[in-house]
Amino acid sequence: MKKIVCILIISIAMMDGNSKSLKEIKSIEENLMFKHSQLEALTIKSKLKCKYDKIAEFGVYKDDWALVEFNGQFGFINHEGKEVVPTKFDKIAEFGVYKADWALVEVNGQLGFINHEGKEIVPTKYDKIAEFGVYKDDWALVEINGQLGFINHEGKEVVPTKFDKIAEFGVYKADWALVEVNGQLGFINHEGKEIVPTKYDKIAEFGVYKDDWALVEVNGQLGFINHEGLEIVNTIFDEIHAFGEIHSDWAMVISSGKKGFINTDGKVVKD
């Protein structure tokens, strides 16, 4: 009986000892897990610190984004530590200054835009970018090497940068803008299409001679374009008089000293 009691006491002691050991092991495991999580956090933090020269506060430019700098180049990281905008820009402006959810960016003096997702929506190739809506809703005037064009609200170049000058829309005709290349004039429409080629030295206002017609000049020779941009009367005349001066619906024309008439269809009146 004494032997049985002793065995029970020893067994209980062993169980207590094992239980204590299990608790100790569990405590060590939990401690290791905690330290491991700390190590992961430190590793992420360490990676960020090691990679970037400077890290700004989150939320200054955009919620959950922080501006980062590496070798004088800027980009963004998000709240997960992911680089959502690579550090390749010399300058990054605030979002929403030019357009909602867009930020102006610069590389080697060339301008473009990134959007709120970090995508380069307009490539950094422009010398200048004007504000949206100055010339036309959702369009911005852009310039490369002194040549002008337009981008739209999607970042697409709707008018190529090939014009020396672009006037405001609606000055000559609704939805048209006068454009100039090497002193030659033409028109673009509200869709960005070159509706009248830049080949005229002068273009008068529409409606002076006839409704929806404008007098045009090339090398001192006169003609007419219509409201669709078509050259309705070729630029072959030295002079064109007003319609109705001598005959209803006719205009006197002079070429090399010879006189004649054109009608309201733009055709030369035959004898």
What the block records as the tokens of 259 is 């006189």
Sheet with 54-58, side-by-side order of all strands? 54-58, 65-70, 73-78, 83-89
Per-residue pLDDT at 252 = 96
Domain assignment of residue 221, given as a range: 201-271
Is residue 90 in some structural domain? no
Per-residue pLDDT at 11 = 34
Per-residue pLDDT at 270 = 80
Whether pTM exceeds 0.85? no
Is residue 6 in some structural domain? no
For the chain, the domain total comes to 1
Is residue 22 in some structural domain? no
Is residue 208 in some structural domain? yes
Do residues 51 and 43 lie in contact, with contact meaning Cβ atoms separated by under 8 Å? Answer: no
Is residue 112 in some structural domain? no
Could you tell me the CA-to-CA distances from 259 to 178, 239, 242, 251 in Å, in that order? 32, 9, 14, 10
Per-residue pLDDT at 20 = 39
Do residues 253 and 260 lie in contact, with contact meaning Cβ atoms separated by under 8 Å? Answer: yes
**Per-residue pLDDT tens listing for the chain (271 residues):** 433 333 322 232 333 444 434 344 333 334 323 333 332 333 444 455 578 999 999 999 999 999 999 999 999 999 999 999 999 999 999 999 999 999 999 999 999 999 999 999 999 999 999 999 999 999 999 999 999 999 999 999 999 999 999 999 999 999 999 999 999 999 999 999 999 999 999 999 999 999 999 999 999 999 999 999 999 999 999 999 999 998 889 999 999 999 999 999 999 998 6
Is residue 226 in some structural domain? yes
Is residue 91 in some structural domain? no
Separation CA 83–CA 77 (nearest Å): 4
Find the DSSP H helices in 126-268. none
Is residue 218 in some structural domain? yes
What the block records as the tokens of 94 is 């605030």
